[in-house]
Structure 1
Amino acid sequence: MKEQIDVEHLQRLTLDAIAAALSAGEVVMDLYQETAEVEVKLKADSTPRTEADRKADDCIRNSLLRTFIPLLSEEGREVYYDERRDWDYFWLVDPLDGTKEFINTSGEFTINIALIENVEAIVGVVFVPVQQKLYYAVRGEGSFCVEKFGVQTHLEGVSWADLQKQSQRLPRVKRGPTEWQQEFVVTTSRSHLAERTREYVKKLSSMFPKIREVECGSSYKMCMVAEGTADLYPRVTATREWDTAAGQAVVEMADMEVVDFTHFGRLYYNKESMVNPSFVVRPKFLTIPKLSQIEFE
């Protein structure tokens, strides 16, 4: 029987994950200044990989070694289900989410670190290096944001109480039906926007007459919904578990949800296939049609 991680232990692990994300952010930002010289390679699935992906991955691995918790990363070796199916806890990492945004210098890339317990994310850390913005969430504690949390910030000797003093609880902006009728904000993928997503957003205009669409990269879109600067994030194109786990923790602990687009069931982790279904990020009380209920042209 597994040993339960108590709240104080989760707080320490969260500080470890934040320190790892900040260190990786420092490495990534050093390379971001030299993007014209960064070599881009294509992985087997034709997605790009840069030196920044690899170095950020190495940095996070080295930082989290002391936790003695298994780590699964987009940039690491493939860990087959037979090996990981019995993991009670593991780190799930995307060391550079939004590699295309990194290459294109849009600044919309993040470093994602989640702690998975069985099939759900119980800690999530999303760091936006260019904006110096940190999102983090812990089961039993809530979801938070810290502005101007730069890559040069060091957590040596920083306690959970110290971190909380700098943090603002999410959502920072509370929106509902009245605000949605004035303006309904939908965030969509800048680099992976499908025509079905555009059509879905268009169909929502019968419910929300004033829709504003904001294109953005990486898991930052999930955090926008969590903090209340966006109302909906629909995703039709393929993602993997490391793309969404940290963001889902931030969303759920802000009392919102990440659900599949077909049945509106919660997304779970450590599946045999690590491919996510189409999903939507939304406030729990927002009623919208399922993808299957929309007639596409």
Structure 2
Amino acid sequence: METARLNRLLQTALKAAAEGSAVLLRHLSHQNNRLVIRSKRDGSPVSAVDLESHEVIQGILAPHSIPIISEEGTLPPFIERTNWPLFWLVDPLDGTQSYIDHRKGFAINIALCDKTGPILGIVADPLSNRIFAGTKIKSPFTVSLSNLNESQPIVPLAATRPYRLVTSWNETLSKEELLPPSLNADAFRMEAVSGALKFCLLATGEADVHARSASYMEWDCAAGDGILRSMGIAVRNRTTGQPLRYNSMSLRVGDLYASRLQDPSI
């Protein structure tokens, strides 16, 4: 993809993330209004806010005529999706339960993927007023929700002991089981973090390794994967070591592992 087009799509995606974040914050401020929540077939919660954010983001992305896969949208048949050279992967409210509980950790995830995987990744963190972003031609950066025109490059913190391993709240494995044998688990502390913000912590150097043992959906990790790819960090299947694959029939990815540590003898 030519640079000019990718930059235009980046600006559109930033706008979509900002407008979606405005929806989340507006509803969050109305704490006396009870959210209408139902359970999806997989048991996960969905609210009217998820759906409104989806509609806003879809409306901003749609004019580019690139197919959109959204957690709250209608999924086209796999045989149709296999022919897509480009597509958006969107989670309009990543961490719905955190949002419902008024707990930090919810985000908006937007990724643009081609046949190789994410070439653009955006994770919006409404509570911190920040959007994290990166593309295959632009190193990771942040912008504020209120000013999308002034970006700040992400300069990762230096890695220091104890190293920080971030994983999901429902992780069942220990750090000894999650980390590869080449790493000394005693040098790590393990911490649970909600949603795609784990990828952002890795990008900023506030975390050193992200690992999980359970599978989850492509829209949960594509945006974070795109950000880490923009800085040369691979997100891989923890079992096979292969890069994550997207636009599969089930839209599920297996366990994953990403590390910014270069020395395998740590």
Tell me the TM-score normalized by structure 2.
0.92
* Separation (CA, whole Å) in 2 of partners of 1:249 and 1:19: 17
**Deviating 4+ runs (over 3 angstroms):** 201-206
Amino acid at match of 1:39: V
Counterparts of 2:174 and 2:140, CA distance in 1: 28
> Counterpart amino acid of 2:138?
E
- Cα distance in 2 for partners of 1:286, 1:101 equals 35
The structure in which a higher percent of residues are strand is: 2
CA offset digits 1:258-290 (Å, max 9, x no partner): 1111121111211222110101121263539xx
Match of 1:267 in 2: 244
**From 80, 85, 88, the counterpart of 2:85:** 88
Q: Could you tell me which of 26, 38, 41 is aligned with 1:41?
A: 38
Shift of 1:211: 2.5
Paired AA for residue 162 in structure 2: E
1:18 aligns with 2:14: yes
Q: How many angstroms apart in 1 are the aligned matches of 2:245 and 2:232?
A: 17
Q: Give the secondary structure class of the aligned counterpart of 2:236.
A: strand
Look at both structures and tell me which one has the larger radius of gyration over its CA atoms: 1
Secondary structure, counterpart of 1:101 in structure 2: helix
Q: Deviations over 1:162-212 (max 9, x none)?
A: 44xx3123x42132xxx2xx311111213xx22224552599798143422
* CA shift digits 1:5-35 (9 cap, x unpaired): 2111111100100000000000011111235
Task: Quote the Cα distance in structure 2 between the aligned partners of 1:202 and 1:116.
Answer: 28
Q: Does 1:238 align with 2:222?
A: no
How far has the Cα of 1:254 moved from its partner?
Answer: 1.6
CA contact (8 A) 1:226 1:250 kept: yes
**Percent of matched pairs sharing the same residue:** 27
> By how many angstroms is 1:92 displaced?
0.8
Residues 136 and 229 in structure 2, CA contact (< 8 A), matched pair in contact too: no
Which stretches in structure 2 are left out of the alignment for 5+ residues? none
Letter in 1 for 2:156: R
CA–CA distance in structure 2, aligned partners of residues 9 and 89 of structure 1: 12
Distance, in Å, in 2 between the alignment partners of 1:49 and 1:120 is 27
Q: What is the aligned partner in structure 2 of residue 184 from structure 1?
A: 163
Contact 2:121 2:222 (8 Å CA) reproduced: yes
Distance 1:202 1:271 in 2: 27
Matches within 5 A, 1:104-115: 104-115=101-112
Contact 1:184 1:208 in 2 (8 A): no
The residue type paired with residue 173 of structure 1 is: L
The alpha-carbon distance between structure 1 residues 280 and 47, as it changes in their structure 2 partners (threshold 3 A), is same
Gaps of 5+ in 1: 156-161, 289-297
How many aligned positions are there?
Answer: 264
**C-alpha contact 1:72 1:90 (8 A) present in aligned 2:** yes
**Inter-CA distance 79–199: structure 2 relative to 1 (3 Å threshold):** farther
